[in-house]
Structure 1
Amino acid sequence: MPRPALAQVTAYALALLSLLTALPASAQESRRPSHCIAIADAAPGLQYLHKAAWTDPVPEYSVRIQYLGHAAFLIQTRGGLNAVTDFTGYIGNVPMIPDVVTMNHAHSSHWTAAPDPAIPHVLEGWGEFGQGIDHYLDLGEMLVRNVSTDIRSSYGGTEERGNSIFVFEVEGLCIGHLGHLHHEPNDEQYAALGRLDVLMVPVDGGYTMALDGMVRVVERLRSSVIIPMHWFSGTSLERFVADVSDTFPVERRDGPEIEVSLRELPAQPTVIVLQPQWLRE
């Protein structure tokens, strides 16, 4: 991946500095620093690993990602942590209780008002109207944080900071879930996201944002693994694949899951199409 121009690096650095200085001194001292918020390029020559059942042990230095459905993914660590994105209260006919769930309130299919009280960490991607929310959950093996984004309100306006992009940092990987993104991030938001090795991207083409804008987001982030989500009949999925196929290779999987490690990611950004499947025994 080519290094950014000096002006862009400077802009990123200033944006990152403003984010850090805005934190209380106590927060800056106690927080584990994000390894994803960095200007330096990622290590070259990376490839990906292949799939395994969600009940199997996760290989060393790896993370398992399963596409459950709509915008929901299960992220599993070697140490046994389970995180679910855009949690609606249902992950399949299994008794597993996730350790952490994230939610966005753009639509009811991205959150639940009654999450199981047994879930230790329920992270809402919104706060008071227009105020947003900030998460920085350090679980040791996994760090979960968010970058607030705007959403369209139900009356055609804009709710500032009403949704979130969630980032999961685990095994040296930076895994980003764009959620119900309604606009292209600004430079400050891109800087706050940092490097994203794996990206879940909504490709519906309208409920979130137009495909040409989403393609620009994907091309700017240049994640090693790009997983389309939030597609319905498949028409928008195929349009997205067609739009990016001249830039990125595309791989299609028969199943819902993939295992990734920092040492074995694709050597160039690659779109990997997974088939959604709820968890089952």
Structure 2
Amino acid sequence: MTDARPWFRRLAGPALAAMLATVPPLATPASAQADPLRNCPPMLAGLDGLIHRAALAQDEAALTFVGHATFLIESAAGVTVATDYNDYVRPDIVPTIATMNRAHRTHYSLAPDPAIAHVLRGWDPQGGAAEHDLEVADVRVRNVTTNIRSGAGTAYDENSIFVFETAGLCIAHLGHLHHVLEPEHLVALGRVDVALAPVDGSWTLDTEGMIETLRRMGPRLVVPMHFFSPLRLEQFLEAASPHFEIARAGSASVILSRDGLPQRPTILVLDGPGR
């Protein structure tokens, strides 16, 4: 069994983290490194010259909910990632890496900041499936494409689930997911520790389908996004509560480590606009 510390700590205010210190951590099986679906290899070169705002240990990553479908992920080496980077909801820094999806203009930018070193589009403008596998210092970013919309209006491979591997964590941002994931998607994703999931239940996958997808993925932690209103968020939490513990961070930012993830699958609500 791993260290019995809390499974996350807040950037400000220790009350909730202290309360959750009694949550059993996730054990790491001795066979973990032999499992071909465990896609979190250590990253090596390029650690010089990076600056980060959060004081992080090598086994930690900071996660901040910026709003809508945008999160800022910060690594111990100072790599920063903005998810579903767009022209309306942005972090207050220029990220090292920006990922984007195509469903709506609140998920991509036509003019991303030229200072961003790596802009990864979740679709291929030339057609077909986008393919990304990028390593920057202690962060690896890869993607698994999915479809948007359905029926006659289905747009194939127009959305990407981006997986961010850092500090031994596999963090999957589901983007504008419109359908339940099939076995081939799950195999391509591999292990998912933290899922950043749209829970609006209408513009993206319906609530029942999202809960089923999350249960198939098996993350220990789910962070909701893309919920538009507190009422809609609470409706999702109520529907998901038979399958997940519910926790509220009381902050827009948390610091996570894999060794401390909760044993029972948990939904962690971060403060911030859901729009």
- TM bucket normalised to smaller: 0.7 to 0.9
Show the 5 A alignment for 1:80-99.
Answer: 80-89=78-87, 94=92, 96-99=93-96
The number of aligned residues is: 234
Map of 2:104 onto structure 1: 107
- Identity within the alignment, %: 40
Look up the equivalent residue of 1:226 and give its one-letter code.
V
Look up the equivalent residue of 1:68 and give its one-letter code.
V
Whether 1:51 aligns to 2:10 is yes
**Alpha-carbon offset, residue 101 of structure 1:** 0.5
| 1:45–1:267 Cα contact (<8 Å) kept | no
Q: Which moved more, 1:47-56 or 1:112-121?
A: 47-56
Question: Kindly tell me: are residues 114 and 128 of structure 1, through their superposed partners in 2, closer, same or farther at Cα, counting changes over 3 Å?
Answer: closer
Q: Which moved more, 1:268-277 or 1:155-164?
A: 155-164
Map of 2:122 onto structure 1: 125
Question: Kindly tell me: are residues 78 and 277 of structure 1, through their superposed partners in 2, closer, same or farther at Cα, counting changes over 3 Å?
Answer: farther
Partner Cα distance (1:117, 1:130) in 2 = 24
Look up the equivalent residue of 1:238 and give its one-letter code.
E
Question: Kindly tell me: are residues 47 and 265 of structure 1, through their superposed partners in 2, closer, same or farther at Cα, counting changes over 3 Å?
Answer: farther
Whether 1:141 aligns to 2:138 is yes
| 1:150–1:162 Cα contact (<8 Å) kept | yes
Look up the equivalent residue of 2:251 and give its one-letter code.
G
Structure 2 counterpart SS, 1:239: helix
Map of 2:251 onto structure 1: 255
Partner Cα distance (2:90, 2:159) in 1 = 25
| 1:202–1:231 Cα contact (<8 Å) kept | yes
| 1:132–1:163 Cα contact (<8 Å) kept | no
Partner Cα distance (1:258, 1:57) in 2 = 12
Q: TM-score, normalised by structure 1?
A: 0.78
Q: TM-score, normalised by structure 2?
A: 0.79
Partner Cα distance (1:200, 1:46) in 2 = 23
Look up the equivalent residue of 1:229 and give its one-letter code.
M
Structure 2 counterpart SS, 1:174: strand
Deviations 1:13-69 (A, max 9, x none): xxxxxxxxxxxxxxxxxxxxxxxxxxxxxx898951211168332233100000000
| 2:65–2:71 Cα contact (<8 Å) kept | yes
Partner Cα distance (1:173, 1:93) in 2 = 22
Partner Cα distance (1:86, 1:206) in 2 = 19
**Alpha-carbon offset, residue 181 of structure 1:** 0.2
Question: Kindly tell me: are residues 47 and 188 of structure 1, through their superposed partners in 2, closer, same or farther at Cα, counting changes over 3 Å?
Answer: farther
Map of 2:19 onto structure 1: none
Map of 2:218 onto structure 1: 222
Structure 1 unaligned runs (5+)? 1-42
